[in-house]
């Protein structure tokens, strides 16, 4: 198979920390699909919401440094975290739309002998897999079909909002399609793009737990046996706080939560360990083994 | 630049706010708010807010922005951008909320009970120190600052994460941290995409 375009890979701080399994499984899946990911050398934090909340211009500078580093490599930037996607893309937009802003950022970058001409596109991995690799190739790679596994595809907020360049802003479908290609069954999930609260779980736990209860309830009511995620922060909230939701609301959710890359990896025949599935708090062995059919 | 600080703190909050908002591409759309409430109805956290997003714009027009800055509203915005993409007038509400967060901190008006400004300040300090954020360091410093007793309640979860290798304890520092500092030193710490340089003092 011919190798695809090469990308600079921007893991982001979260998958370097508590959500390493996302990074592991993303790399495994990309290798399987001949997506050449070279980690962006010496990348820094994108300046996402907590930073931008109190330092706007500096947050954009953080993003701009990453964009400048990627431009040096002459590659587009691939991210796995939707918050990084939105922050980096926002900086890219402002640089195109506002010449005064561009002058300030360019002058700041120059202090470190960096420059950014605006040629880098920031893309989320799921979009590359769905749009560039596509149905045929994904289906051809499937070794263990996840036949009938009912997954609630959870997109969260920032994959498609605010820009909506890759899918519908309110009712995206690309993850649903991907699940079908590997034999799984995406359930109807009306809250698929509703907010999990992000960092509110830390700063206002009552509200954070309420938002997650609503999501878990919606997934369960629609018959989901598993939640599929594509954002490390959503994943953290939905997966590691299910016991707290249960405690607060007297519920009994134990819905296994897996990254889209882990689901793909399972279908491609990789072991749970290599995909970091053993690092999750909620056991998923039962469902993934029940449905995996060797093709 | 002391003149600049004085300029910012002497002017009315509403003027500073509007100047910063207008500096964002598309920011001037705030003038076109028709008070329809689509933002408030779309917001997943408006049920817990002192003032809903629609009321925030009404308060601005009524010249009582300081009340909004002191409220819990701005710290409940999780940046989900529903309001922004649904607003029929194109008001960039999420960016408005960001601006309000920055002003509340800059002018020392942030809700004392709100924990989000504490996280933001820690987040900025850690990123400025290392170039990246360590979640473990962020969470532990946050708990120590806000509620050390809550840390005890977190132990079972922390332990489960630790034994699964999900608690990397040593933060990574990027090689280019001093270059990044050089770049950042050319940029103001005050709000607004077109603000000048120099640190701003708290308004008293």
Domain boundaries, chain B: 2-111, 116-181
B99 and A CB contact within 8 Å: yes
Closest CA to A79 of A12, A165, A168: A12
pLDDT digits over A162-177, tens only? Answer: 999 999 999 999 999 9
**Strands (E) located in chain A:** 6-10, 36-39, 76-79, 122-124, 144-146, 150-153, 185-186, 226-229, 257-259, 292-294
Our count of domains for chain A comes to 2
Determine which of A56, A103, A104, A168 to mutate to test the interface with B (most B C-beta atoms within 10 Å).
A56
Stretch among A1-10, A160-169, A266-275 having the lowest mean pLDDT: A1-10
Q: Which of B134, B175, B189 sits opposite A17 (nearest CB)?
A: B134
A3-17, A55-69, A228-242, A256-270, range with the lowest pLDDT: A3-17
Residue A92 has pLDDT above 70, yes or no: yes
Cβ distance of B160 and A207 shorter than 8 Å: no
Question: What are residue A259's DSSP bridge partners?
Answer: A229
User: Among residues of chain B, what percentage have pLDDT more than 70?
Assistant: 88
Give the integer Cα–Cα distance in Å for A266 and A278.
13
Q: Tell me the pTM.
A: 0.93
Q: Examine the fold and report which residue of A123, A156, A185 is the final residue of a domain before the chain moves on.
A: A123
pLDDT confidence of residue B14: 85
Asked whether residue A84 falls in the same domain as residue A144, the answer is no
| Rounded Cα–Cα distance for residues B166 and B164 (Å) | 5
Is the minimum CB–CB distance between B173 and chain A shorter than 8 Å?
A: no
CATH code 1.10.3470 for B2-111: no
Same domain for A20 and A94: yes
Asked which of A90, A123, A156 is the last residue of a domain, the reply is A123
Q: State whether A223 and A277 are in the same domain.
A: yes
A285 shares its domain with A169:
yes
Strands A144-146 and A292-294, by their bridges, are antiparallel
Is the ipTM higher than 0.90? The answer is yes
Residues above pLDDT 90, as percent of chain A: 91
Same domain, A156 and A289: yes
Are A122 and A46 in contact by the 8 Å Cβ rule? The answer is: no
Which residues of B fall within a CB distance of 8 Å from A279? Answer: 164-166
Any idea what the Cα angle at residue A258 is, between residues A267 and A50, rounded to 5°?
Answer: 140
Q: Say if CB A142 and CB A182 are below 8 A apart.
A: yes
Average model confidence (pLDDT) across chain A: 95
Per-residue pLDDT reduced to its tens digit, A282-291: 999 999 888 8
Domain region containing A236: 135-294
- End position of a domain, from candidates A88, A123, A158: A123
* pLDDT tens readout for residues A48-79: 989 999 899 999 999 999 999 999 999 999 99
Residue B190 — pLDDT band, cuts 50, 70, 90?
low
- Do residue A118 and residue A139 come from a single domain? no
- Whether residues A151 and A251 fall in one domain: yes
Q: What is the pLDDT of residues A125-137, one digit of tens each?
A: 999 999 999 999 9
The Cβ-side half-sphere exposure at A4, using a 13 Å CA radius, reads 20
Same domain, A223 and A115: no
Residue A129 is assigned to a structural domain of this protein = no
Contact A202 B84 (CB under 8 A): no
Give pLDDT, residue B4. 53
CA dihedral over B155, A155, A27, A199, signed as positive or negative: negative
In 3D, which of A55, A57, A51 has the Cα closest to residue A13? Answer: A51
pLDDT at B197: 34
**Rg value, chain B, Cα:** 19
């Amino acid at each position: 198979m011919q190798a695809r375009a090469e990308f600079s890979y921007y893991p982001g701080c979260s998958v370097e920390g508590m959500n390493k399994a996302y990074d592991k499984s993303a790399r495994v899946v990309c290798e399987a699909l001949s997506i050449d990911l070279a980690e962006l050398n010496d990348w820094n934090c994108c300046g996402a919401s907590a930073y931008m909340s109190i330092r706007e211009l500096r947050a954009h500078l953080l993003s701009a440094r990453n964009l400048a580093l990627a431009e040096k490599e002459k590659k587009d930037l691939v991210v796995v975290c939707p918050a990084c996607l939105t922050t980096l893309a926002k900086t890219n937009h402002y640089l195109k739309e506002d010449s005064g802003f561009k002058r300030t950022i360019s002058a700041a970058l120059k202090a470190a002998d960096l420059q950014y001409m605006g040629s880098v596109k920031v893309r989320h991995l799921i979009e590359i897999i769905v749009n560039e690799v596509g149905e045929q190739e994904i289906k051809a790679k499937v070794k263990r079909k996840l036949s009938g596994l009912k997954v609630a595809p959870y997109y969260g907020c920032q994959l498609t909002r605010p820009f909506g360049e890759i899918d519908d802003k309110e009712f995206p479908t690309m993850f649903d399609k991907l699940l079908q290609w590997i034999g799984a069954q995406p359930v109807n999930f009306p809250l698929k793009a509703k907010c999990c609260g992000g960092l509110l779980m830390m700063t206002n736990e009552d509200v954070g737990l309420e938002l997650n209860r609503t999501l878990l309830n919606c997934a369960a009511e629609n018959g989901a046996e598993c939640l599929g995620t594509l954002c490390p922060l959503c994943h953290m909230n939905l997966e590691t706080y299910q016991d707290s939701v249960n405690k607060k609301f007297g519920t009994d959710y134990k819905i296994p939560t897996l990254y889209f890359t882990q689901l793909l990896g399972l279908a491609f025949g990789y072991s749970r360990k290599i995909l970091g599935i053993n690092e999750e708090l909620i056991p998923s062995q039962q469902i993934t083994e029940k449905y995996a059919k060797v093709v | 630049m002391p003149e600049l600080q004085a300029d910012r703190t002497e002017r009315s909050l509403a003027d500073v706010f509007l100047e910063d908002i207008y500096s964002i591409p598309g920011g001037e759309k705030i003038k076109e708010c028709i008070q329809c409430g689509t933002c408030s109805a779309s917001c997943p956290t408006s049920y817990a807010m002192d003032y809903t997003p629609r009321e925030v714009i009404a308060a601005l027009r009524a010249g009582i922005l300081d009340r909004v800055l002191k409220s819990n509203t701005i710290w409940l915005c999780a940046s989900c951008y529903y309001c922004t993409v649904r607003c029929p007038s194109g008001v960039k509400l999420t960016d408005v909320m960001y601006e309000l967060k920055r002003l509340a901190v800059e002018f020392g008006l942030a809700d004392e009970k709100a924990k989000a400004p504490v996280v933001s300040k820690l987040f900025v300090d850690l990123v400025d120190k290392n170039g990246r954020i360590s979640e473990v360091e962020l969470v532990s410093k946050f708990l120590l600052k806000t509620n050390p007793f809550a840390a005890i309640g977190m132990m079972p979860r922390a332990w489960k994460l630790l034994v699964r290798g999900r608690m990397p304890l040593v933060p990574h520092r990027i090689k280019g941290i001093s270059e990044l500092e050089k770049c950042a030193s050319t940029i103001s710490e005050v709000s607004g995409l077109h603000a000048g340089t120099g640190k701003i003092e708290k308004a008293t």
